[in-house]
Structure 1
Amino acid sequence: MRADKVAPHVSTYNILLKIEAEQHSIDRLAKVFDEMSRRKVEPNEVTYCIMASAHAVARLYTVCETYVEAIEKSKTGNNWSTLDILLILYGYLGKEKELEGTWSIVHDLPRIRSKSYVLAIEAFGRLGRVDRAEELWSEMKSTKPLKSTEQFNSIISVYCRHSLIDKASEVFKDIEMNDCKPNSITYRHLSLGCLKSGLVEEALKTLEVGMDQVTSGRVRRSTPWLETTLLMVEIFADMGDLENVKKLFLELKDARYTRYTFVYNAFIRAHVKAKYMIQIF
């Protein structure tokens, strides 16, 4: 671009920022953003959405909150894509009031997308508001055709995150009744739910079933997949189950998720716990 004397544009930088965010490279993300400032390219709401999301995934919540404020100031009208991202971000930040406010805006749009319901269900689940997630699940079922596994996965993920494996199992039974098929991420959620409920043998069997499913690289790099996998790593680490920690850690490493310190901390904890248990027994 420089050789051809093409002026830099915010859309170009947004592409570069997205690439670095998907690579989980916060340092390079910051460098691209700084270059925008040096070249006097004004960020837009898309820029701030990318920056906020990347820092939320990296658990840098204070920085994330700064970019969320920038989104609120820069957003033009009620763009559904920006509103969807705000649903996700307020879930990460634990801001229930702001999450409800954003959902209210989405709810007043001429048409509510199924994806927005999915994101809101997951966000309320992240906040621990299982009851609110269930309300939105019931509303989605009554107003939208249940045509995608992703819809079922949203409430299954909430139940499994909060050890409600019986409720998750009931929803799982409904998937095929609606001409959908459980996918690898469905089984990954269920495996987590079993682990959290103390059903270790069932968790391992479910994990194997999921591993036998065809899973695209896009899914393996997706935040729900990575975060669910990390939660399982943390539980196995606390159990001193080094074998399963190593197996799942390789998945995280392949997706470059191990660039975050908190991921390696779980891996280190597993080694320490395993060594401690060997000493005991």
Structure 2
Amino acid sequence: MASRSLFLALRRRCRHNGLVNNDFQSSIRERFNLSRFFSSGALSNDFLEQIPNCLENDDLRSRIFRLRLPKRSVTNVLEKWVSDGNQIAISELRQISRELRKSQRFKHALEISEWMVTHEECELSDSDYAVRIDLMTKVFGIDAAERYFEGLPLTAKTSESYAALLHSYAGAKLTEKAEELYKGIKDSNLSFDALIYNEMMTLFMSVGQVEKVLLVVEDLKRKKVAPDIFTYNLWISSHAAALDIDEARRILDEMSCDPSSNESWVRYINLTNIYITTGHLHNADSNSLVEVDKSITQREWITYDFLIILYAGLGNKDKVDQIWQSLRMTKKKMTSRNYICILSSYLMLGHVKEVGEAIDQWKHSTTTNFDTLACKRVLDAFTDIGLTEIANNFSMLLIQKNCDLHK
């Protein structure tokens, strides 16, 4: 405490004498030999966080970002800032919140959101409510976010807040809750863009319910909502997963005629057409497809499953092996769709040994979501062509993973 008192006394003297920050920096380092304190850890976090940032710009953002631990209170910083006679602009709070979220400091960002809610001078926007739902999901869980959404006045239940809650459900793969909310969205008089539909398509793809993707596309078209590049990506991928390459081609044709088509869309279409065109596929460079596709973002380029199926259709086992290996090396959590895709591809190629190896890999995975209809089709295929041992092995896998084909 003595050090802190001396620090503040010297700071007041520097202000009284009109010293600028650089002068103050020199004075304070000479008086306290701060470099020794900082390097030795002699100054506690509490002390450092309470010191006004005299060595830098002493603004609100700096004070908030000096909080080192989640338990430190942003609310206290805001109240102190106001009590010192400073103003807080809502635009500044939004910017600080965005930066905190990028740094994954969700608890501190939520405190800013709570400040905005409790101060009437802050006029909240639709985006503010949506951000709060997302932050509550991350900090307190989906139940808290759900309760907050339900308690909102009707005027605040906008397309953005609905989208935020749906995103929370989809991220947690709460399919039933997501479908119930999606139904409410469709029945409402609100106007939605492609984001809502993309969320549902992504959810269905992630849990292996590929057949439901087409239903979402039909809803989108019925509502006359313009699809974006991600809508097309998910739509094409769903048909690729179902081995319907002709339909994937048709969607590409539709995409090229879309009035919203722009340069990035053309690049995506051209890339996909290269994969579909037999000559280019056979002559493609032997380097990893992960390396080849670094020129565009992960979300823009066609899915691994699609590529596996295309190369399987061309009889190029080396490429199938290569892509499957690349997929397994990523941090992406595998789904039943991924495994069914590789099993189907190796089956098409007639490589029974690799089919058995893929089933063994599936057994050791943490996959818990299953597309029961697709699994049944694969099991029936094994049985129909006389692969009894493979069929029995696959049945044991489904039993091990608690996948009930009789549901």
**TM-score range with shorter-chain normalisation?**
0.5 to 0.7
RMSD value, Cα: 5.0
The one of 151, 158, 169 aligned to 1:90:
169
Please report how far the alpha carbon of residue 140 of structure 1 lies from its aligned counterpart in structure 2 after TM superposition.
Answer: 2.2
2:145 equivalent in structure 1: 68
| Structure (1/2) with the larger helix percentage | 1
Deviations 1:126-173 (A, max 9, x none): 33322222112123234416564444234235456x475724444223
Q: For residue 100 of structure 1, give the secondary structure of its aligned residue in structure 2.
A: helix
The one of 250, 255, 269 aligned to 1:175:
255
Structure 2 distance, partners of 1:145, 1:34, is 36
Determine whether 1:138 maps to 2:222.
no
Please report how far the alpha carbon of residue 175 of structure 1 lies from its aligned counterpart in structure 2 after TM superposition.
Answer: 1.0
The answer to whether the Cα contact below 8 Å between 2:158 and 2:190 also exists between their aligned partners in 1 is: no
Q: For residue 129 of structure 1, give the secondary structure of its aligned residue in structure 2.
A: coil
1:49 equivalent in structure 2: 133
Please report how far the alpha carbon of residue 176 of structure 1 lies from its aligned counterpart in structure 2 after TM superposition.
Answer: 1.3
Please report how far the alpha carbon of residue 238 of structure 1 lies from its aligned counterpart in structure 2 after TM superposition.
Answer: 6.6
2:56 equivalent in structure 1: none
Amino acid at match of 1:5: N
2:160 equivalent in structure 1: 81
1:279 equivalent in structure 2: none
Structure 2 distance, partners of 1:127, 1:184, is 29
Deviations 1:200-224 (A, max 9, x none): x699798788656xx6xxxx5xx94
- Give 1:96-135 correspondences, 5 Å limit: 96-115=175-194, 116-135=196-215
1:58 equivalent in structure 2: none
Please report how far the alpha carbon of residue 14 of structure 1 lies from its aligned counterpart in structure 2 after TM superposition.
Answer: 4.3
Structure 1 distance, partners of 2:167, 2:324, is 28
Change (3 A) 1:110 1:87: same
The answer to whether the Cα contact below 8 Å between 2:109 and 2:135 also exists between their aligned partners in 1 is: no
Determine whether 1:239 maps to 2:325.
yes
Amino acid at match of 1:48: R
Structure 1 distance, partners of 2:300, 2:112, is 32
Structure 2 distance, partners of 1:158, 1:203, is 26
Structure number with greater CO (CA < 8 Å, separation at least 6) is 1
Structure 1 distance, partners of 2:93, 2:235, is 35
The answer to whether the Cα contact below 8 Å between 1:156 and 1:189 also exists between their aligned partners in 2 is: no
The one of 93, 101, 107 aligned to 1:30:
107
> Which residues of structure 1 form unaligned runs of 5+?
56-61, 194-198, 250-261, 264-281
Count matched residues: 216
Deviations 1:61-120 (A, max 9, x none): x95425533543443323111111222221111112211111111111225434233333
Amino acid at match of 2:106: L
Please report how far the alpha carbon of residue 184 of structure 1 lies from its aligned counterpart in structure 2 after TM superposition.
Answer: 5.3
Please report how far the alpha carbon of residue 4 of structure 1 lies from its aligned counterpart in structure 2 after TM superposition.
Answer: 5.2
2:339 equivalent in structure 1: none
Q: For residue 6 of structure 1, give the secondary structure of its aligned residue in structure 2.
A: coil
Structure 2 distance, partners of 1:85, 1:51, is 10
Change (3 A) 1:126 1:74: farther
The answer to whether the Cα contact below 8 Å between 1:185 and 1:210 also exists between their aligned partners in 2 is: no
> Which residues of structure 2 form unaligned runs of 5+?
1-59, 61-80, 120-127, 277-281, 308-320, 333-407
Change (3 A) 1:4 1:165: farther
Structure 2 distance, partners of 1:15, 1:119, is 26
1:155 equivalent in structure 2: 235
Structure 2 distance, partners of 1:13, 1:140, is 35
Structure having the higher Rg: 2
Deviations 1:178-231 (A, max 9, x none): 3435355678899999xxxxx9x699798788656xx6xxxx5xx9469x79xx
The answer to whether the Cα contact below 8 Å between 1:168 and 1:190 also exists between their aligned partners in 2 is: no
Q: For residue 122 of structure 1, give the secondary structure of its aligned residue in structure 2.
A: helix
**TM-score, with structure 1 as normaliser:** 0.54
The answer to whether the Cα contact below 8 Å between 1:117 and 1:137 also exists between their aligned partners in 2 is: yes
Structure 1 distance, partners of 2:216, 2:223, is 10
Structure 2 distance, partners of 1:189, 1:52, is 39
